[in-house]
Amino acid sequence: MPQVVIQFEGTCVNFRRQDFPFLPTAHRIVMINASTITRVWNQDIAPHTAGFSTDLSPFAPMFPISGSVVQIANAVPTGVRYIPKGEPGSYDAIPSLAALNPKLGLTPESASLAVLVGHNPSLTACCFDVDDGVIGSDVSVGGATMTIVTIETTDDPLYQLKPFPTGLSSRLLTALPPQKATNTLYFWNAEADPSQASPFDFLLSYLILRLPPVDPPAIIPTVTAGNRLNRWSTMLAMLPNANPVATDVGCSNSTFP
């Protein structure tokens, strides 16, 4: 049966309906709009932009996202399954914002509703919605944790974008016609120049909170490099004297709470 594998790179935050019953989908992956943010908690961070490609190569056409809900249009109705803890590619291997910062007392109520379910492109660059498929993780060759979603499709994979309304958020989203996808899609929320990345990029994940903490939250600890190629490690390999620990790990995905 045809399938599509979606790989999420950069500061993408995962939310489950079991934690947020009001979500319009079983699982939502949020990319905040960090295109104008250059400093968080006294740390310099290069602006991050959201985009996607149907090819791993950084030379392949890439499509910017500036406020859309995206989903696979022809998914087989299997429901969502999470790869269990202890198995390779476990969903639980994605860093949890609440677990990294237990002193903050983060709960589902801490999330910003405007970011999580709002249609404001100045806050949210993209929401990727999943109602069917298998959700897990993998680690890039540079050490970044990525969300991996595998969805069976009824035919060749098709993706669909629903741009945010330009007016009030209560307006209905208008879906663009389904577009052909390859068997792998790459979504990211990261700096345009990988040499500008830093381990502090992960702090952007906390901007999904209703009230971001006053004190600097924890950043993801350095992890062992994996074997999975991603777009950014491909770009890093082209740079002289690149430091993959500083430029890839910081853009790990996260979960909330």
What's the rounded Cα separation, in Å, for the pair 136 and 182?
A: 20
**Global confidence as pTM:** 0.95
134 versus 220: which is more confidently predicted? 134
The token pair at 28 is 């939502």
User: How much is the average pLDDT of 205-213?
Assistant: 94
For residue 140, pLDDT beyond 80:
yes
Task: Output the pLDDT for position 142.
Answer: 86
Tell me: pLDDT of 199 over 90. Answer: no
Taking alpha carbons only, the member of 174, 180, 175, 173 closest to residue 159 is: 180
Q: What is the pLDDT of residue 91?
A: 98
Cis peptide before 257 (omega within 30 of 0): yes
Instruction: Give the pLDDT mean for 136-141.
Output: 95
Number of structural domains (the chain) is 1
How far apart CA 81 and CA 85 sit, in angstroms, is 12
pLDDT at 187 over 90: yes
What type of residue sits at position 29?
Answer: I
Give the C-alpha separation, 133 to 27, whole Å. 10
Enumerate residues 6+ apart whose C-beta is below 8 A from 8. 29, 128, 146, 147, 148, 149, 187, 188, 253
Mean pLDDT of the residues in the chain: 92
Question: What integer is the mean pLDDT of 154-167?
Answer: 92
Token pair of 110, please?
Answer: 């801490």
Q: Which structural domain, as residue segments, surrounds residue 151?
A: 3-255
User: pLDDT > 70: what percent of the chain?
Assistant: 96
What's 198-229 look like in SS3?
CHHHHHHHHHHECCCCCCCCCCCCCCCCCCEC
DSSP per residue, the chain: --EEEEEEEESEEEEETTT-TT-SSSEEEEEE--TT--EETTEE----EEEEESSSSTTS-EEEESSEEEEETTB-S--EEEPPTTSTT-GGGSPBHHHH-GGGT--GGGB-HHHHT---TTTEEEEEEESSEEEEEEEBTTS-EEEEEEEEBSSS-EEEEEEPPSS-TTSPPPPPPPEE--SEEEEEEE-SSGGG--GGGGGGGGGGBSS--SSPPP-PPP----SB--HHHHHHTTSTT--HHHHTGGG--EE--
What pairing do the DSSP bridges indicate for beta strands 124-130 and 68-72? parallel
Is pLDDT at 26 greater than 70 in this prediction? yes
